[in-house]
Structure 1
Amino acid sequence: MNSIRRPVTGQMAYDPASGRTGVVQAVHAADELLFDHQVTAHRVAFLRPERGGVEWTADATALRFPAQGDRSY
């Protein structure tokens, strides 16, 4: 069992694949989604920049809590 804590809906998260930090809007199983999310993971997270902007998708299992110096848009 994976005991690593990961950000959940409403929390800030760092997406290492994009190098961006944003607020988690939702997390879904990949097979529930009806569009090409281009994420190969089984769980897809939707993130949005803290001050608003364009939402993006990320591998939910790769998200981590932001550390000082992680970029934000």
Structure 2
Amino acid sequence: MNHQLHQPQPNHRAVPMSAPGQVAYDPVSGRTGVVQAVHSVAELLFDHRMTSDRVAFLRPERGGVEWTADAAALCFPADGEETI
């Protein structure tokens, strides 16, 4: 049987936990942003519709509207690589 694992986007590596200030790529939205906060779904008072138990709040690097993302799906640039 040939099983293929989901691979992160090129030039990015998956990191199990994200922290505020990290630049991250959200593969669902196709956007890159700075992590503002990460919370467990139990802490949230809105319909998060995430598949994992943690939700990340991201904002574009140069400012703009914040969005939510599945924290487990985020990818992070490898050291020395530029973001998309």
Q: Which residue of 1 aligns with 2:74?
A: 63
TM-score when normalising by structure 1: 0.79
Q: Which runs of 4+ in 1 moved over 4 A?
A: none
Of all paired residues, the percent bearing the same amino acid is 69
Deviation, 1:47, is 0.2
Deviation, 1:37, is 2.2
TM-score when normalising by structure 2: 0.69
List runs of 5+ in structure 1 lacking aligned partners.
none
> Rg larger in 1 or in 2?
2
3-state SS, counterpart of residue 61 of structure 1: helix
Check the 8 A contact 2:20/2:34 in 1, yes or no: yes
Distance 1:17 1:5 in 2: 16
1:54 to 65, 73, 79: 65
List runs of 5+ in structure 2 lacking aligned partners.
1-13
What is the root-mean-square deviation of aligned Cα atoms in Å?
1.8
